[in-house]
Homo-oligomer: A and B are copies of this chain.
């Protein structure tokens, strides 16, 4: 039995998200497992560092799998490159410790959200940005972002229900900057709840547009009520940039 680690990129536009589902083969995990199983001649199940939702992209998704194979990492890489569709790419395949698990061992992640903050047409990036032309006050958004840093219960900023699983997470950095016609939000933390980055971004946009106070994020953290937070921005602006391991 050999263990492998993969770095994966994908354009999520055509897919129903990372996670394999019955009834559709349009998932990233499903496509990867199909190519790996066919290439290795044995059924392969891979673990991603986490699920990405339908329409979300990745430049730095990490996955792991174990398989009974004589193939080396570079041979597996070549087979992936030959057989994967053009919107899913494997950057590298490396041998991993048999104990390595892409989800369980992940200690940090970085997501980027791209907003097209302009009236001008957005032709070439249209699948990867959310068009929001209203004027945005970056200083206000940065004030709110500071209040979100650190360890909090982010239940109010997530699509998760109250349950057994902890909704406490630590955000280590939020960067907001202009890049030409875009406003780019970059979030780093130990992990993110379901739709958390998209709800954080929607809330920050409402603050940046002046319809909500920066301080209001404290109330959302306190009440844990989804209804107190802002809207959920569309999936297409979101990209998983990096997964960190110790």
Q: Which of A95-103, A118-126, A222-230 contacts B (4 or more CB under 8 A)?
A: A118-126
Produce 1/0 per residue, A46-89, CB < 8 A to B. Answer: 00000000000101000000000000000000000100001111
Produce 1/0 per residue, A112-138, CB < 8 A to B. Answer: 000000011111101010000000000
Q: Which of A1-35 touch B at CB < 8 Å?
A: 9-11
Q: Which residues of B contact A126 (CB under 8 A)?
A: 11, 86-87
Q: Which residue of B lies closest to A77 (CB)?
A: B119
A121 touches B57 (CB 8 A): no
A90 at the binding interface (Cβ < 8 Å): yes
State how many angstroms separate the Cβ of A163 from the closest Cβ of chain B: 34
A123's contact among B87, B121, B122, by CB below 8 Å, is which? B87
Q: How many residues of A contact B (CB 8 A)?
A: 20
- Most B CB within 10 A of own CB, among A86, A91, A122, A124: A124
In the bound complex, what is the Cα–Cα distance between A123 and B126 (angstroms)?
14
Q: Which residues of B contact A88 (CB under 8 A)?
A: 121, 123
State how many angstroms separate the Cβ of A94 from the closest Cβ of chain B: 15
Q: Which residues of B contact A123 (CB under 8 A)?
A: 9-11, 86-89
Q: Which residues of B contact A87 (CB under 8 A)?
A: 123, 126
Q: Which A-B residue pairs are the 10 nearest by beta carbons?
A: A89-B121, A9-B123, A89-B123, A11-B123, A86-B126, A9-B121, A91-B120, A87-B123, A11-B124, A10-B123
